Structures are given as C-alpha cells and as structure tokens.
Amino acid sequence: MDWLDGRPRPRVDFSWLSSFEYEGERVPLMDRQRGIRKPAGFDAALAIRTTFTAPGQLPPYADSVGGDGFQRYKYRGNDPEHPENVALRRAHETGKPLIWFIGVAPGSYEPIYPVWVVGDEPHDLQFALAVDEGQRFITPGVGDPDTRRWVERVTKQRLHQRVFRAQVLLAYDGRCAICKIRHAELLDAAHIIADGRPRGEPVVPNGLSMCKIHHAAFDHRILGIRPDLSLHVRQDVLDEVDGWMLKGGIQGVHNTSLAVVPAVRAARPSRERLEERYEEFLAAV
C-alpha cells in the first residue's frame, strides 16, 4: 500500500501492478484471471478486483450495499470452500487489510485501500467489507438507524463517489467540460441528477467534469445546461457588474456550448437527465 501511495499516476494498469517486488521477488498485486488475489506463500488474500463497467451501466457493486450500509463482495462461484473464498475468509479472521482494484476504463483501475472484510455471509455467498477505518468496529447488521446511515454515507463517499469521479474525469480527458481547465485537483465529477434520487446513479452519463467554480454555479442554479448542451446563465447574474472572474468565468459562457464532451457517445451526458435538471433550473429562476 505504501508502494501504491507513491504511484506516478492516479490510476493503474496490470503491467505496472505486475512490477511490484517484495523481498526481492516479483509479486503482482492483481491477477488477470481471478477476482481474489492470494500470492503464493501468503496465508490470506491480498487484493480483490471488480472489472470495468460500460458508461451507462450500473457497476456490480452499486446494488450491493446492504440495509446496514456495508458494501458486499460476492464469493467466487457458489462454493464457500473455494480456495479464493477461503483466502478472503482468512483475511477476515486475521484482520488483514486488502486492496480493492475497481475498473474505471478498459485495462485501467482505481485502487481503493485499505479495505477490510468484516463479515462472512455464506447463505448469501458474499462478504461484508469496511471501506473506512471507522467502519471496522461496527458489526454488520447491527446498529441503530443513525449508525447505519453514517456507514452508508461513508461507503458512498469512499467508494462509489471516488470511482464515479475517476470515470467521469477519464471520459472528459481530465478537463472541465465548460472552461477546459486540466488541473485534476480543481476538478469535480458533478451529478446531473443528485445522488439518491431516481436516475441519480453514479454512472458517467449522469456526470459532468467541472472545475469547482462551474460545479458550484451549476449546483446553485446560477448556470443551467440545456439538453442540447448549450449553457444559460441566470439573468440577475448576467446583470451584475463585478470583477473579471464573474465576467469571464460565468457571464462569458452564456449562450455557448460545452467545450468538452466525451469521445465515446455512450459516456456523453444523458439528454433526459439534462432536461430534468434544466427544468429545475428554470423553476428556480
């Protein structure tokens, strides 16, 4: 995990992960064929993997958050005693942390770590995972409603939203859809329809890569995006007289169109979602 902390780029691929060495021996951190990675000589699993999901489809983990807020990870096959399941169970018994590699593009992964197995549910052929240090000390299936809401919120922030951001920024080539700024630290993955609402899933067609200024303007209904991808600024903001940031950054984009759209058609903003969001913008105006 320290080695991953020093990686040269945010996301990783199999060839780079295969270059890891431990005590003079090469130990690939991920297996091309298996979802659960237990290197030879290890007594427990080291990593788990989830393959890439196409832009408009829900990833397999999205529907796997239980009523207790904990993320679930399915067994390999239907046999609880399959060696890979045994390796992951051993990580649970020993309390050893894991790395979770989640596909965000073909051959590209977002590493989430540390992750812990905190429950084994053989009747459902799955494990319960803690994706945050604080979740480790809460028993899955147990707890008051406030605790469950907190666990679910942390799961979404630490896992779902992080992967969503990686996928959206990749789709927009690491640029703001409106001003084209490239600095990743200044970019967000903005939801078109808010998380938790119908059609508010963390999928790329429900996202826009935006710098923090334009994201805030979008969320606060200063800026609206029509279904044809053209931009509209609220009239009272257009009438304001202020400094160069308002004039160039907000007023200047009125009646223009998105400057960057994904090259892959399936990753482009959903017209239906934009229409719903623009109706809300007009109602607020």
Tell me which of 169, 199, 217 is where a domain ends.
169
Question: Could you tell me if 77 and 88 are in contact, meaning their C-beta atoms sit under 8 angstroms apart?
Answer: no
In whole angstroms, give the CA distance from residue 207 to residue 284.
Answer: 21
Task: List the CATH number of the domain containing 147.
Answer: 2.30.280
Q: 147 with 179, same domain? A: no
Q: 36 with 160, same domain? A: yes
Q: 103 with 192, same domain? A: no
Q: 125 with 50, same domain? A: yes
Q: 11 with 120, same domain? A: yes
Collapsed DSSP state (helix, strand, coil) of residue 235: helix
- Cα–Cα distance list, 235 to 149, 156, 219 (Å): 39, 36, 16
In whole angstroms, give the CA distance from residue 201 to residue 193.
Answer: 8
- Cα–Cα distance list, 133 to 20, 163, 224 (Å): 25, 19, 39
User: What pLDDT is stored for residue 245 in this prediction?
Assistant: 87
In whole angstroms, give the CA distance from residue 95 to residue 83.
Answer: 18
In whole angstroms, give the CA distance from residue 223 to residue 203.
Answer: 22
Q: 84 with 182, same domain? A: no
Question: Could you tell me if 12 and 111 are in contact, meaning their C-beta atoms sit under 8 angstroms apart?
Answer: yes
Tell me which of 169, 187, 205 is where a domain ends.
169
Domain that holds residue 227: 175-284
Q: 156 with 206, same domain? A: no
Taking only the tens of pLDDT, the chain with its 285 residues reads 999 999 888 889 999 999 999 889 999 999 888 899 999 889 999 999 999 988 888 777 766 889 999 999 999 999 999 999 999 999 999 999 999 999 998 889 999 999 999 999 999 999 999 999 999 999 998 878 999 999 999 998 899 899 999 999 999 999 999 999 999 999 999 999 998 888 898 899 999 999 999 999 999 999 999 999 999 999 999 998 888 889 989 999 999 999 999 999 999 999 999 999 999 999 987
Q: 164 with 269, same domain? A: no
Quickly list DSSP for 160-226.
IHHHHHHHHHHHTTTS-TTT----GGGEEEEESSPTTSTT--S-GGGEEEEEHHHHHHHHTTSEEE-
User: What pLDDT is stored for residue 89 in this prediction?
Assistant: 97
Tell me which of 140, 169, 198 is where a domain ends.
169
Q: 29 with 157, same domain? A: yes
Give Dmax (Cα) for the chain: 69
Q: 16 with 127, same domain? A: yes
Quickly list DSSP for 247-269.
IIIIGGGTT-B-S---SSGGGSP
Total number of domains constituting the chain: 2
Predicted model pTM: 0.87
User: What pLDDT is stored for residue 120 in this prediction?
Assistant: 96
Q: 221 with 139, same domain? A: no
In this structure, what DSSP letter does residue 239 have? Answer: T
**Which residues, in sequence order, are CB contacts of 133 under 8 Å at separation 6+?**
114
Q: 159 with 205, same domain? A: no
Collapsed DSSP state (helix, strand, coil) of residue 47: strand
